Amino acid sequence: MTNPAAAERDLLCDLFLDVGPDAPTLSGDWTTRDLAAHLVVRERRPDAGPGIVTNVLADYSEGVRRTEAARPYKEIVERVRKGPPRWSPMRVDAVDRVTNTIEFFVHHEDVRRGGATWSPRDLSPELEDTLASLIGPAGKLLTRKSPVGVVLAADGHAAKTLHRGEPTVAVGGPLGECVLFLYGRAAAAQVEFEGTAEAVASLRATTLGI
């Protein structure tokens, strides 16, 4: 069975090279160069890890990322393609699937959808199944700030309660689109909502993500 994390990594690296270092992404104001540098730091610089996910040491982590971004672009992309160093647990296939499938799927779509024209793609069964297995636990963290209950009702998958509360909003559509919505890409995610207008508006106004 194909490792979907590895497949998304390769597709993203190919796309990085196709669009060049200055293409826009959905990751804030980051260009493709910025995003590629982030991926390298995430896997190769554990000392910068705390500043990636919290405000603790954020300035230090950003400095490490900027240093990485100063490398020749093709070199950065090749470092992303090679993946983490040999000592990293993420070299293990099972760990790679858990830690990197959503990461590389979301960032792949960040680049795909960063430009003016794009369309949703059909996901492989391996990618769909892995996203489905991971988004339940991840979704609880991503929706923790929601003022309303959130249920994930992705097409073809059993509904999952991500955040308890009343009233409740169900987020539906293709699974990949739901994942992007939960990871804060609401403007580009093609999802549908079921709930009162007020509850839906409250959810849409909430900053989702880590």
Which residue's entry shows tokens 């636990």?
A: 137
Whether the Cβ atoms of residue 156 and residue 143 lie closer than 8 Å to each other = no
Sheet holding 149-154: strands in order across?
160-163, 149-154, 168-173, 192-194
How high is the pLDDT of residue 2? 86
- Percentage of the chain with pLDDT > 90? 86
Q: How far apart are CA 132 and CA 96, in angstroms?
A: 16
With a cut of 70, say whether residue 141 has pLDDT above it: yes
Q: How far apart are CA 34 and CA 3, in angstroms?
A: 26
With a cut of 90, say whether residue 52 has pLDDT above it: no
155 in helix, strand or coil?
Answer: coil
How high is the pLDDT of residue 206? 94
Q: How far apart are CA 42 and CA 65, in angstroms?
A: 9
- Which residues pair with residue 160 across a beta bridge? 152
In this prediction, residues 36-58 reach a mean pLDDT of 81
- pTM over 0.85? The answer is yes
With a cut of 70, say whether residue 53 has pLDDT above it: no
In this prediction, residues 119-135 reach a mean pLDDT of 95
Start-to-end CA span in the chain (Å) = 30
In this prediction, residues 43-58 reach a mean pLDDT of 76
Among the listed residues 133, 122, 119, the one whose alpha carbon sits nearest the alpha carbon of residue 176: 122
In this prediction, residues 188-194 reach a mean pLDDT of 97
pLDDT in tens, 64-87: 999 999 999 999 999 999 999 999
Residue 132 CA, distance from chain mean position: 14
Domains of the chain with bracketed CATH: 4-112 (no CATH), 125-204 (3.30.1050)
- In the chain, where do the E strands start and end? 149-154, 160-163, 168-173, 192-194
pLDDT in tens, 85-112: 999 999 999 999 999 999 999 999 999 9
- Which residues pair with residue 153 across a beta bridge? 172
